[in-house]
Structure 1
Amino acid sequence: MENSFYQLAEIEISYKPKFKSVERPQIDSANKAYQVLINNWDLNKIELVEEFKIILLNRRNRVLGIVNISQGGMSGTIADPKIIFAVALKACASGIILSHSHPSGESSPSEADIKLTRKLTEAGKLLDLQILDHIIVCSDGYYSFMDEGMI
C-alpha cells in the first residue's frame, strides 16, 4: 500500500477588533445606519457608480465594521451571497445591514433589489444571521426596506 501525501491549505479563522465594543456606534434606526454609511461612502463616486456594502453588527447592534462587497457601473453591481455571508461569519456578526447606492439619486428599490433582499433574508435565517435592513443610499437621502415594511 502506497502512502499518498497531499498538500492542503490550512484555514484559520480569527477576528481582531480595533475598538472596544462600547466605542463602536450602535444602530437603532435606519437613519443612524444611513449616517454611518454616508460618512463612510466615497461621495465622489456616489452619483457615478453603484456600490454594495454591508454593515456587520454584534448582538447589541454595535458596528463591527463596514465591508465593501462590490463596485459596478452606473446601472448595477454584483452582490454575491457567498461573499456577504463568508465575511459576516468570519467576523462573528449577529446581524447584517445591506446597502447599495443608486447613482441616479432615485432611492426606490428595483425589482432586482427586492428579489435580492428576499434571497439574502432567507439565506440569513438558515445561518442564524439576521438581515436587519437593506438601505438604498443616495447623496441626499435613503430608502429603508425595514422602515417600509419590506423586511
Structure 2
Amino acid sequence: MEKLQTEQKASSTTFQVSEINVSYRPKVKASERPKVSTSKEVYDILFNNWDLDKMELLEQFKILLLTRANRVIGIYEVSSGGMAGTVADPKLIFSAALKACASSIILSHNHPSGNLKPSQADISLTQKLRTAGSFLDIDVLDHIILTSEGYISFVDEGLI
C-alpha cells in the first residue's frame, strides 16, 4: 500500500512545472524614444536618470537597452554594491536585453571614488560581455564609467 502511494505521488508531480511568461510593455512610444549617437548623449541620459544621492556612495551597474536604430528602450539596473565594487551578472544583463528585444546595449557603472580610470576587471568584464553578446546578436556598443564630475567612454578611449 505504501509503495502504491509513493508511486502515485511521483507520477502526480512529474508533470507539475512552472509556466514562464515573457512580456514587455514600453511606457514611451517608439517615435518619442531618444536616439543616441555619441558617448556624451549616452552619458547625459545615464546621468539624468542616475540617483545622484548614490553616485558617490556606492557602485551601481546599469545597462542602456537600444533598438537597431540606437533609440533608447530603457535603462536596467543590474546591480547595486558597495564602495569598492558591484557584481555584473551576464545572465541578468542578457536576460534583460532579450526580454526588451534590444539589438544592442551600452554598459555603465559609476565609480564612487571619482576616479575615471577603468580597472583591469572593468576591461575584462567588457570583453567577456562583448563575446557573450556576439553569440546572441546583441552588440555591446560601449562601456561608460560615470562620476559626479564626468565620464569616460571605452570606445572614445580605444578600449573597445
Tell me the residue number matched to 1:15: 24
Compute the displacement of 1:12 (Å): 1.5
Partner of 2:56: 47
The structure with more radius of gyration: 2
**Matching of residues 1-151 of structure 1 within 5 Å:** 4=12, 5-151=14-160
The Cα of 1:6 is off from its aligned counterpart by: 2.3
State the one-letter code of the partner of 1:106: N
**In structure 1, C-alpha distance between the alignment counterparts of 2:51 and 2:27, rounded to whole Å:** 22
What RMSD in Å do the two structures reach over aligned CA positions? Answer: 1.3
Q: Which has the higher contact order (CA 8 A, sep 6+)?
A: 1
Tell me the alpha carbon deviations over residues 81-112 of structure 1, each in whole angstroms, 9 at most, x when there is no partner.
00000010011000000000000111110000
Q: TM-score, normalised by structure 1?
A: 0.96
Note the residue ranges of structure 1 that are not aligned, 5 or more in a row.
none
Q: Give the Cα–Cα distance (whole angstroms) in 2 for the partners of residues 12 and 51 of structure 1.
A: 28
Q: How many residues align?
A: 151
Letter in 1 for 2:39: A
CA distance in 1 between counterparts of 2:68 and 2:25 reads: 17
Distance 2:64 2:136 in 1: 17
Instruction: Give CA-to-partner distance per residue, 1:6-58, whole Å, 9 cap, x none.
Output: 21111121211111111011111100000000000011110110000000000
- 4+ aligned runs moved over 3 Å, structure 1: 2-5
Percent identity, aligned pairs only, is 59
More helix by share: 2
Provide the rounded CA distance (Å) in 1 between the counterparts of 2:35 and 2:149: 22
